[in-house]
Amino acid sequence: MLTKDQILTALRDCFDPEVKLNLVDLGLIYGIETAPDPDSSPAWPRQWVKITMTLTTEYCPASGLILEQVHNRLAGIQDISKVELNLVWEPRWAPHRISEAGRRQLGLE
């Protein structure tokens, strides 16, 4: 079974094209749920993954690209059978959600 940390590592390959920072360090990933998928085919232990996330603004012009990146990155992992994205607007994203590593990368520290 994939762990949440492994999924977060995979999501670090997905970037906001305007900010040039990965979605995890940008603070856009709010939650990860996983469970075994008994209906998966082939039948090895695969799991579904649900990502709860937000965007920097509701009117983000790159929203389609960002959501597609997340879906495609996770769908490419052999142990994942289904990917569900739950886009939320509460709590609102704010710059304080950027990780320490992200702040360094953006020169905010």
Domain locations in the chain?
A: 4-106
pLDDT score recorded for residue 43: 62
Instruction: Read off the pTM.
Output: 0.92
Residues 6+ apart with CB under 8 A from 73: 10, 11, 13, 14
Hey, CA dihedral for 63, 57, 25, 88, is it positive or negative?
Answer: negative
Q: Are 40 and 72 in contact (CB under 8 A)?
A: no
Task: Please give the order of strands across the beta sheet that includes 80-87.
Answer: 29-36, 47-53, 80-87
**41 DSSP 8-state letter:** S
CATH architecture group of domain 4-106: 2-Layer Sandwich (3.30)
pLDDT score recorded for residue 84: 96
pLDDT in tens, the chain (109 residues): 889 999 999 999 999 999 889 999 999 999 999 998 888 776 677 899 999 999 999 999 999 999 999 999 999 998 999 999 999 999 999 999 999 999 999 998 7
pLDDT score recorded for residue 48: 92
